[in-house]
Amino acid sequence: MNNQMNKKKAVVAFIALLTCALAGQALAQGQEIEFKSNADDLTKIRSVLEEFRQDIIHKDGYALTKLVLNPDVLFHHINNQEEVDSARKYTAQFDGIGPSQLDGFAKLLATSKDKLEEKFHNIEIRQDGDLGLVTFNYDFVINDKVHHSGLEVWQLCKIDGQWKILSVTWTIYIHS
């Protein structure tokens, strides 16, 4: 009798554990984030990328700066540890991200005599309402030769019905 009672308790405990596990799984699935994304906004975000690329090709730094939310956006490559250590010889608190490089890039476009192009590969765009995230691999091409490449990450926001760049960060791998 005791043995039969223990079996019943074990079965009840097993069913209770199984029920809790299934309920927890169903609850977790019900809490998955659903992004508020639509095809029109994704197309508009993609068009910002293409405008950026065309501004480089046409060497139009001014037009490129109109794609960003404001002149103070983060626009900087990610320094490797060697670069950070070197900079810390002069600025002890250097954190690996210096001032925005947007102005310098716009000036480079306006003054360069070289043929310039940035090519994007493996573009991934995610959007949730008024926030967009774009990641891609890039090649920066000077006079038809890849000068450097890496990973580029953009944040964009939708304001006044237009998508604007909040930040651009990238890695750099120089080609010899």
Q: What is the average pLDDT score of the chain?
A: 86
| Cα 165 to Cα 69: distance, rounded to the nearest angstrom | 6
Neighbour count for residue 68 (Cβ, 10 Å): 22
Tens-place pLDDT, residues 94-118: 888 888 899 999 999 999 999 999 9
Tens-place pLDDT, residues 159-170: 999 999 999 999
Domain ranges of the chain: 1-32, 39-174
pTM of the model: 0.78
Q: What is the per-residue pLDDT for 28?
A: 54
| Cα 149 to Cα 119: distance, rounded to the nearest angstrom | 9
| Cα 58 to Cα 40: distance, rounded to the nearest angstrom | 26
At the topology level of CATH, where does 39-174 sit? Answer: Nuclear Transport Factor 2; Chain: A, (3.10.450)
- Cα dihedral 87→64→120→140 (10° resolution): -50
